[in-house]
Chain A
Amino acid sequence: MTARAIMNLRSILIASAVFRLVLILYGEWQDAHMEVRYTDVDYLVFSDAASLMASGSSPYKRTTYRYSPLLAFLLIPNSFLHRAWGKFIFSASDLLVGYFIYKILKQRKVAEDLCLYSVMVWLLNPFTFTIGTRGNCEPIVCAMILWILICLMNGKIIQAAVWYGLVVHFRIYPIIYALPIIVVLDPRYVQLGKKPLLVNWKSNTQKPSSQSSEEASTRYNLWTAAKSMFSRERILFGLVSGGIFFLCTGLFFHLYKWEFLNEALLYHLTRADPRHNFSIYFYHIYLHYGHQLSLVEKLISFLPQSMVQLVLISSFAQDLPFCFFLQTVAFVAFNKVITAQYFVWFFCLLPLILPWSDMKLRWEGLSCVGLWMGAQLHWLLWGYLLEFRGQNVFLQLWMASLVFLLANAAVMAVFIRRQGCSPIFLQMKVRDAKGGVKSE
């Protein structure tokens, strides 16, 4: 990094850190002096679970604690150091995400100013800085996912696998990234013990940079991946990540028995909340609550999600950050329960794809932002009338959730249309069946 670049990134990180510190301190003041808390109710759940763990009890004795015991373990210092310890951890993870965004983009030779703008898209997002300072743990998950990307970009397959197993244990949703990671671990592109060749960013005004003559001209597809599915790299990644996941699951099952499995894992897999949320399914679930859904109904609600995930992986797996981004937006949008904290799952990936987008801020970018925010605000308006004015607006609220899903789909379509889909890896020399090296 140049001195100017260090100063700029450093300035942004320092300013963001100071701002987050101020917010944490303000949050402590508001909690102590006002009836309405700044702190997220989930943070109180984490803290209570942590103090139970500190006293040798199960964290699951705290009702509504539905996370890995690792989270409670991280927050044990809340009990003896300061109750805001966890908020500092989450905000530090938030800053780490900003740093990782810079690192990933720099490694792909993105122009300095674009790197810094992308970092600011994350660090200056109001949603981002409130979520960590209010005590939500999602920044930790985001940091882990970006670190996994960095490991893959540097050919550290085993390390990536360890962190991947850990993050899936921590928060189940990253399981959706398993297939694109396996697809991209093609031995033509990623080999054990070798640093893979990255496809660098090219601006629209630059001449094509001199790349290896073996630059990928053929597209991945699932068929290509299926043919070379059982490569050493893929098997290793699957075994290590699966091993870590089952090790953590087994260890905590041994410690906390079925309470852990039910609350930390099975609850999330089977969750169907009849209470109003952004999901299009909430009213359907409420109207059918207490009645067993037929197999057809269960399949119909499962099909859109799985179909979209498969198509996105098939189309975009080679551009791993873009694939992750689209998959996450789709996963959240089609989920049976959507709460606002899930949005941060794809907010952390958005800065990674912006340098490759042809979308101009004016007016296409602003239109996407306006459409997405507008659909959300529309839903919130009806939600307010239902929850805080006691008006029966279930039908209108449900229709607002339909509009929100359609808005998500439209924004995704615009992103896809405008993205210069760019494979993350260049083709390398590969081993032949006898272990010798040959060119493709």
Chain B
Amino acid sequence: MLPGDPNLQLTLSGLERRLIGEGSHRHLSSTIQIQVPPQSFPLQSCKLVMIERLPSGVFADPFELDHLFHHGAYAGIGVFGDTNLELPSVSSNRSAVEIHMNFEHNISSGAMSELGIRIDLPLHARYAPLHESGYSEVAFGMPDLLVNCSMEGGSEMRSCLIVPSHDSNRLRTDVVWKIPCGIMSHTNVVSVVTFATAFVSTLVIVFASVLYPKPR
């Protein structure tokens, strides 16, 4: 439902994004601040809906998110797109995660308020395409943010969905994940040495079998 009050303009006053952790399993942390102008009617509660369009090369585990949801980490969660957990990124498609979070404070009418929330999304790296540098870079874009507020107007409860406008000077959204990857120039030596080692191990076992068994 679109807001009936044209003065209801929420502003995204701060968005800070960070990748927390090391290695192939990290958390994408998003700290969001939204300014709420004075309202004619008090806002009962507000919920944030964040749609994170994941770049190719990372994925969210729907079963892990479901486990976290049941532990109360989110008000709602859903994963869309390619949820195959096993494929490398060359064979997989992108996915998106929709997260619902409740803002903690009720907002009264007649005063400028600020809503703040932090969302942690566990992510995992897929096996990246080969690159001579040994690392593949995956960049995260800006998430889509929607705020769903319920408000009292007379005897009715109404809800509205707002896309906050943003002040780009206060947004820190550059997040890049460097994922280790295989190096093409290793191919020949890896193939040769792999098969040579398999051959040597075979010889060890064959010689042991032929030379040593002694029936009792």
Residues of A within 8 A of B (CB): 35, 37, 41, 44, 63-64, 199, 202, 219, 273-275, 280-281, 283-284, 286-290, 297, 300-301, 303-304, 307-308, 311-312, 314-316, 318, 330, 333-334, 356, 386-395, 398, 402, 405-406, 408-410, 412-413, 416-417, 419-423
Contact = CB atoms under 8 A, between A and B. Distances in A.
22 contacts: A63-B85, A199-B216, A280-B194, A280-B198, A287-B190, A290-B91, A304-B199, A304-B202, A308-B206, A312-B205, A333-B201, A334-B198, A387-B24, A390-B178, A392-B181, A395-B183, A398-B194, A406-B197, A406-B200, A409-B205, A412-B208, A413-B208
Nearest to A312: B209
B182 A283 contact: yes
Contact of B23 (A275, A280, A311, A387): A387
A394 B180 contact: yes
Contacts of B204: 406, 409-410, 412-413
Contacts of A202: 216
Contact of B130 (A199, A219, A287): A287
Contacts of A304: 198-199, 201-202
Interface centre among B127, B130, B205, B206 (most CB of A within 10 A): B205
Contacts of B183: 392, 394-395
Nearest to B87: A274
B86 A409 contact: no
State the majority secondary structure of interface residues on A: helix
B198 A284 contact: no
Contact of B182 (A287, A297, A389, A412): A287
B191 interface: yes
Contacts of B190: 283-284, 287, 395, 398
Interface string B122-151: 000001001000110000000000000000
Contact of A392 (B63, B83, B88, B135): B135
Given A44-B63, A311-B206, A402-B193, A387 B212 contact: no
A94 B216 CA distance: 31
A386 B201 CA distance: 26
Nearest to A420: B216
B86 A273 contact: yes
Contacts of A307: 202, 206
A301 B90 contact: no
B210 interface: yes
B154 interface: no
Contacts of B88: 274-275, 286, 289
A390 B22 contact: yes
A223 to B, nearest CB: 15
- The 5 A-B pairs with the shortest beta carbon distances in the complex, nearest first, are A392-B180, A413-B208, A409-B201, A392-B134, A388-B23
A290 B86 contact: no
A275 B89 CA distance: 12
B165 interface: no
A315 B83 contact: no
B104 to A, nearest CB: 21
A202 B85 CA distance: 53
A389 B182 CA distance: 16
Contacts of B201: 304, 333-334, 405-406, 408-409
Contacts of A64: 85-86
A405 B198 contact: yes
Contacts of B84: 63
Given A402-B194, A406-B197, A390 B181 contact: no
B interface residue count range (under 10 / 10 to 19 / 20 to 34 / 35 or more): 35 or more
B98 to A, nearest CB: 19
A316 B209 contact: yes
A420 B181 CA distance: 48
Given A64-B85, A410-B204, 18 more contacts: A280-B197, A281-B194, A288-B191, A300-B195, A307-B206, A312-B209, A315-B213, A334-B201, A387-B23, A387-B25, A388-B24, A390-B178, A391-B180, A392-B183, A405-B197, A408-B201, A409-B200, A412-B208
Nearest to B199: A304
Contacts of A281: 194
Contacts of B24: 386-388, 390
Contact of B209 (A44, A303, A315): A315
Nearest to A220: B215
B191 A311 contact: no
Interface centre among B86, B130, B190 (most CB of A within 10 A): B190
B179 interface: yes
Contact of B184 (A44, A283, A287): A287
Contacts of B134: 392, 394
Nearest to B125: A390
A325 to B, nearest CB: 13
B7 interface: no
A41 B63 contact: yes
Contacts of B208: 412-413, 416-417
A288 B187 contact: yes
Contacts of B191: 284, 287-288, 297
Contacts of B187: 287-288
Contacts of B202: 303-304, 307-308, 334, 409
A30 to B, nearest CB: 13
B200 to A, nearest CB: 7
A419 B215 CA distance: 9
B83 A416 contact: no
Contact of B90 (A37, A289, A316, A334): A289
A219 B216 contact: no
Contacts of A402: 193-194, 197
A394 to B, nearest CB: 6
Contact of A284 (B184, B194, B212): B194
A24 B193 CA distance: 44
A405 to B, nearest CB: 5
Interface centre among A312, A386, A394, A420 (most CB of B within 10 A): A394
Nearest to A415: B208
